[in-house]
Each structure stands twice: as structure tokens, then as C-alpha cells.
């Protein structure tokens, strides 16, 4: 009989076969248990990380109570697709805003009225915002309208008990007060409600008060009457002008702004979230097409490149999107756009920033109203020290002076050069000395810095990068100014994303000024 082994029979650090099998068994069971647990969970999307680099498994979403139904459905769909839990916190729009301001936490805020988002922005609480859907206030009554209510005046009858949203808590209450003050009904209705009715903090509570028979009428959103059973809507002129825009904002306190923006885009996608809003009676806005990583095509005149590059790079990182930027002379870019449009090809830009308004006007019918971001001036660039002693446009016509200009059919600088030379009456004389014509403004400094030309007509901004090699001669003419507009294509399927890109560029004032541009915007949040 083999003697029982003792610990001394094994070398230090060795494990018996039985012990090894036991350990392996435990590990297998543990691994199996982990797999089974994970099978019950949606997979966490790779790359869903917070500011601290840690994986994000949930988002905190402050949501106006009246928007609960569509948002809940969308949140469930998002969890199924991406494994991110959206934790919903409901309340009146103003109540939620106060809570956000106090706590300074959370990822998203959906308000029943965009005015609350704008207030949150002014308070420094909201970074980006996206519109979702429209709704308007109506009178709500029990099915069949037993009290025969047809007008605001009927709410003032002694036999009618009315419930309203609290103006200091619920968006519908604030909107009701504003509209009825304008119509002259508010003071009497408020007094009557305080006497015989009630004020409620949220739209669902207002609607439910009518549903259970505790009130005869209420003023709520038209969408609520489609969600809550047992009530119907009465439209009246005094309330018809009160349409509001349901808007979602990404909070500056967001732990994972990229993931929060992704969910906001999901909410606002025409083929995702907006379907649910329509299902529940809302009037959706024109939404973007859904893509987990959407792409924007941005055509940009070469002169603007140095000013916009950082803003675009930061925008891509924050939004988790791809911006395909094409830099070139605006004559070339507009020719491309015309060809794409006429032949119905792919690749038309979502946004276009021209070197001057002239080249946006050429394709004006293809773009929405544009904003003017900046301006710069056309100058004479000469080698350092100005060896030819050039002080004016007339000097460019002297014998032996070699001049470089932009090609008018290819770039804005070429068009402006022709314009300013004609305006100053020296066009033919200067053109006789032209030795180089370039396709973009970016190529006009090299001939001067390398000695291939004695002078060039270039943008002041293009001279900044080569200030050690070239000097600048200013041109005292109004014709020597270029204004840079930025617009969104009418055909873009990502107008909201394009709008946020433009807003990101509009916050790059310091980059524009560092590049030599003059800033034209009155504020940093242009609207479209």
C-alpha cells in the first residue's frame, strides 16, 4: 500500500494533482458564471469612455415629464443596440433646471420648451443642443366634453373646475401664463384656479387630474392628449400661437460628452428617435439620418485652413464623428459642386466656407442662409526688406517687376485681384508683368519667398505663416477686402450636425485672429 503523501514529499512551490484539478474546476465554474452573467447584459460599446478614461455604462438624463413616453421607448432601444443604460429623471422643465443648476451633475437635459435650454446655456450648464419635435398647448377635457367647453371664456365659468401647470415648475404652465396674459384672460383664470381648481408641477399630473374627474378642464400639450387615455383636446385661438420646440441639451457636467452627444443624435435621428416622437403625437423636426459615426463633408477655401483646422479636429473628437474636409481654391470648389449637383453625383458638401461672398453667391441656390464669420484683406507681399521698393499697386507695373497673382477662374484671390486692379485703373499694366498665376491663395507666397517673383497679390492671412520671409504692403482700397461666409447645404442629411460644426467654428475667434482675420460675428452662438 502506497503511503499517504505529506507536504514534505513535494518540492517547495509544487501543487498536487488533486489540488490542481480542484483549482482548475473552480476557475472553469467562475468563468462559466461570468459568461452566464454577461449573457444577460447588453454588450458595452467599445470606446464608450468617460473623461477619466473609465468605461461608461450609463447616462443620467433629466427629462421633462410630459415627454416621458417617447423618451422611455428610445432609451430602451438604445440600451438594446449599444448596451448603455439611460437613467431617466423626470420633472417639470423648470424644476429640473433648478436641480441641474444646484447639483451640477448629469449628462443630458430635455426641456419641453427650448427657452429653458437657452436659459441653461446662458447659465453655463448646456454645451450643445438639438431640436427634436414641436407641440402646442390645448384645452383638455374628459372624453365627450361633458361640460361643453369650447373656449377660454368657458374656463372662467363658475361651474368649471380647471387645473393648470404651475408656471414656476412646468413649461406648459409658463407658456399658458404668457399666452393668456397676452389675451387678457390670465388674471381672472389664475384667481379662479386658486379658488376652485389646482396647479400641478408636471403635465402628466395636470392631465391625470382631468382623467380621474377631479377637474373639468386643463391646459396641457396637444401631445399629452394622445398619450393619456380618457381625455380629448380642444384647440382655441389664444393657444394656437404657443407652439414650442422640444429640445435636448448636452450638459457641461457630462461625464462622457461624446457618449451623451451620441445618444442626443440617436434621439434626433429621423430613422430612430424621431419615429417614436411621431408615434406619440409629436410633430418631429427634420432630423439627421442615423449613423453611429456620421460623416460630414466640408468644402473650405484654402485661405481659411489655418483658422478652422483646430476647431474641426476638436469637434471630431468631442462628437465622435468624421469631418471630410476639402481645401482648395473656391473657383475649383464651386465648379465641383455644380458638377456634382447637375449630374446628381455623391460627394456634395454638407457645409461650405468660401474665401469671399462672391463664391458662395455662385452656388447660392444650393445653400441655406449663410453667416459671415470673418474678413481679411488683399495685400502686396514682397520679399523681406522689399528690395524693389514697392509701395503701391502702380509700382507693380514698373518694367522688370515680376508679379504673381491668383487665377480668377479658379480662386477667390484671383477674382478680388482683378477687381482691385480694375478699381485702381492699373489692370492691364500690372497684368503685363504677371509671371505666375496660381490655383489657390496658399500658393502665392512661395514665389515671393523663393525669389521667383518680386511681388504677389495675396491675402494678409497667407503672409502670416511666412512673416520671416516676406513683408506686406497694404492696399488702401475697399475693393481689397474678402468676407468669409459659411453655409449649410440644402441637400445635407446632417443639417443638425453641420449646424453644430458651424457653431464650433464660431467659437474659434482666437484662431481666426491669430491667422490675421478680422472677426465679424457679434456673438459666438449663431443660429440657423
Q: Which residues pair with 323 in a beta bridge?
A: 296
For the chain, give percent helix, strand, coil, nearest 5.
40, 25, 35
Spatial strand order of the sheet with 108-111 comes to 85-91, 58-64, 108-111, 244-251, 126-135, 283-284
Q: Which residue intervals of 280-325 are DSSP H helices?
A: 305-319
- Give bridge partners of residue 381 from the DSSP assignment: 456, 472
What's the confidence (pLDDT) of residue 525? 55
CA atoms of 383 and 448, how far apart (whole Å): 6
The 3-class secondary structure across 435-460, one letter per residue, is: EEEECCHHHCCHHHHCCCCCEEEEEH
Q: Where are the alpha helices (DSSP H) in 112-162?
A: 114-122, 152-155
Cβ proximity of 162 and 170 under 8 Å: no
Q: Which of 215, 242, 269 is the last residue of a domain?
A: 242
What is the Rg, in whole angstroms, of the alpha carbon atoms belonging to the chain?
A: 32
- Tens-binned pLDDT, residue by residue, of the chain (528 aa): 333 333 333 333 344 444 333 433 433 333 433 333 333 333 334 446 555 566 678 999 999 999 999 999 999 999 999 999 999 999 999 999 999 999 999 999 999 999 999 999 999 999 999 999 999 999 999 999 999 999 999 999 999 999 999 999 999 999 999 999 999 999 999 999 999 999 999 999 999 999 999 999 999 999 999 999 999 999 999 999 999 999 999 999 999 999 999 999 999 999 999 999 999 999 999 999 999 999 999 999 999 999 999 999 999 999 999 999 999 999 999 999 999 999 999 999 999 999 999 999 999 999 998 999 999 999 999 999 999 999 999 999 999 999 999 999 899 999 999 999 999 999 999 999 999 999 988 899 999 999 999 999 999 999 988 889 999 999 998 889 999 999 999 999 999 999 999 999 999 999 999 999 999 998 655 555
Residue with cell string 369650447: 150
Domain count, the chain: 3
The helix or strand, by DSSP H or E, that contains position 350, with its residue range, turns out to be none
Instruction: Say whether both 143 and 235 belong to one domain.
Output: yes
In a domain? residue 527 = no
Pick from 139, 207, 201: nearest CA to 170 = 201
Pairing of strands 351-353, 481-488: antiparallel
28 within some domain: no
Residues 150 and 98 grouped into a single domain: no
For residue range 37-46, list pLDDT tens digits in order. 333 333 334 4
Judge whether 297 lies within some domain. yes
| Domain end point (choices 284, 308, 339) | 284
92 and 173 part of one domain: no
Whose grid coordinates read 449646424?
A: 499
CATH of the domain at 504: 3.40.190.10
Query: Where is 229: in which H helix or E strand?
Result: none
476 in the same domain as 461: yes
Let me know whether 355 and 419 are in one domain. yes
Q: Are residues 315 and 454 in the same domain?
A: yes
Strand pairing partners for 233? Answer: 140
Q: Compute the distance between CA of residue 25 and CA of residue 361 in angstroms, rounded to an integer.
A: 75
d(CA 488, CA 338): 15
**Would 17 be classed as within a structural domain?**
no
- Domain that residue 129 falls in: 58-134+245-284
| 301 located within any domain | yes
Pairwise CA distance, residues 517 & 130, whole Å: 30
If asked whether residues 105 and 143 sit together in one domain, one would say no
From 320, 307, 327, 287, select the one nearest 493 (Cα to Cα): 287
* Separation between Cα atoms, residue 410 and residue 412, nearest integer Å: 7
Last residue of a domain, one of 284, 308, 338: 284
Same domain, residue pair 236 and 105: no
What sign does the dihedral 98-101-107-112 (CA atoms) show? positive
Has residue 370 been placed in a domain? yes
Query: Under a CB-based contact definition with an 8 Å cutoff, are residues 91 and 111 in contact?
Result: no
The answer to whether residue 38 is domain-embedded is: no
Q: Say if residue 277 is in the same domain as residue 297.
A: no
Q: What grid cell was written down for 355? A: 474665401
Nearest to 136, CA basis, from 175, 180, 163, 93: 175
Contacts of 70 (CB under 8 A, 6+ apart): 273, 276, 277, 279, 280, 282
For residue 7, being part of any structural domain is answered with no
Same domain for 265 and 211, yes or no, is no
**Are 116 and 80 contained in the same domain?**
yes
399 and 274 share a domain?
Answer: no
Amino acid at each position: 500500500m502506497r503511503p499517504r503523501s505529506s507536504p514534505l514529499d513535494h518540492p517547495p512551490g509544487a501543487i498536487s494533482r488533486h489540488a490542481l484539478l480542484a483549482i482548475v474546476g473552480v476557475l472553469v465554474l467562475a468563468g462559466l458564471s461570468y459568461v452566464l452573467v454577461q449573457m444577460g447584459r447588453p454588450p458595452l460599446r467599445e470606446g464608450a469612455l468617460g473623461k477619466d478614461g473609465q468605461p461608461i455604462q450609463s447616462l443620467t438624463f433629466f427629462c421633462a415629464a410630459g415627454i416621458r413616453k417617447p423618451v422611455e421607448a428610445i432609451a430602451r432601444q438604445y440600451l438594446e443596440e449599444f448596451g448603455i443604460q439611460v437613467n431617466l429623471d423626470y420633472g417639470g422643465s423648470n424644476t429640473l433646471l433648478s436641480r441641474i443648476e444646484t447639483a451640477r451633475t448629469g449628462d443630458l437635459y430635455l426641456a419641453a420648451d427650448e427657452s429653458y435650454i437657452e436659459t441653461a446655456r446662458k447659465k453655463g450648464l448646456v454645451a450643445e443642443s438639438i431640436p427634436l419635435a414641436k407641440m402646442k398647448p390645448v384645452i383638455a377635457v374628459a372624453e365627450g366634453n361633458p361640460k361643453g367647453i369650447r373656449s377660454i371664456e368657458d374656463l372662467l365659468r363658475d361651474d368649471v373646475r380647471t387645473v393648470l401647470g404651475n408656471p414656476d415648475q412646468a413649461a406648459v404652465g409658463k407658456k399658458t401664463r404668457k399666452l393668456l396674459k397676452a389675451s387678457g384672460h390670465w388674471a381672472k383664470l389664475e384667481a379662479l384656479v386658486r379658488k376652485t381648481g389646482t396647479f400641478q408641477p408636471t403635465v402628466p399630473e395636470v392631465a391625470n387630474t382631468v382623467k380621474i374627474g377631479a377637474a373639468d378642464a386643463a391646459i396641457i400639450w396637444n401631445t399629452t392628449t394622445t398619450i393619456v387615455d380618457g381625455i380629448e383636446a380642444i384647440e382655441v385661438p389664444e393657444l394656437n400661437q404657443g407652439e414650442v420646440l422640444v429640445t435636448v441639451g448636452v450638459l457641461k457636467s457630462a461625464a462622457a460628452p461624446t457618449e451623451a452627444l451620441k445618444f442626443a443624435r440617436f434621439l434626433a435621428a429621423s430613422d430612430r428617435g424621431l419615429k417614436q416622437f411621431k408615434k406619440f403625437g409629436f410633430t418631429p423636426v427634420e432630423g439627421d439620418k442615423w449613423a453611429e459615426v456620421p460623416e460630414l463633408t466640408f468644402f473650405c477655401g484654402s485661405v481659411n485652413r489655418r483658422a478652422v483646422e483646430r476647431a474641426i479636429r476638436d469637434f471630431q473628437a468631442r462628437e465622435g464623428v468624421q469631418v471630410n474636409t476639402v481645401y482648395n481654391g473656391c473657383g475649383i470648389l464651386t465648379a465641383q459642386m455644380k458638377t456634382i449637383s447637375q449630374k446628381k453625383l455623391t460627394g456634395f458638401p454638407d457645409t461650405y466656407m468660401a474665401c469671399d461672398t462672391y463664391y458662395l453667391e455662385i452656388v447660392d441656390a444650393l445653400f441655406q442662409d449663410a453667416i459671415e464669420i470673418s474678413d481679411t484683406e488683399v495685400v502686396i507681399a514682397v520679399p523681406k526688406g522689399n528690395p524693389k521698393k514697392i509701395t503701391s499697386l502702380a509700382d507693380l507695373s514698373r518694367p522688370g517687376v515680376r508679379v504673381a497673382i491668383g487665377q480668377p477662374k479658379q480662386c477667390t484671390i484671383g477674382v478680388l485681384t482683378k477687381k482691385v486692379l480694375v478699381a485702381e485703373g492699373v489692370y492691364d499694366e500690372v497684368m503685363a508683368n504677371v509671371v505666375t498665376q496660381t490655383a489657390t491663395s496658399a500658393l502665392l507666397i512661395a514665389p515671393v519667398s523663393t525669389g521667383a517673383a518680386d511681388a504677389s497679390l495675396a491675402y494678409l492671412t497667407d503672409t502670416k505663416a511666412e512673416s520671416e520671409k516676406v513683408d506686406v504692403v497694404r492696399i488702401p482700397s475697399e475693393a481689397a477686402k474678402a468676407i468669409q461666409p459659411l453655409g449649410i447645404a440644402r441637400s445635407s442629411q446632417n443639417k443638425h450636425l453641420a449646424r453644430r460644426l458651424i457653431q464650433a467654428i464660431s467659437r474659434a475667434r482666437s484662431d481666426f485672429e491669430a491667422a490675421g482675420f478680422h472677426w465679424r460675428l457679434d456673438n459666438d452662438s449663431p443660429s440657423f
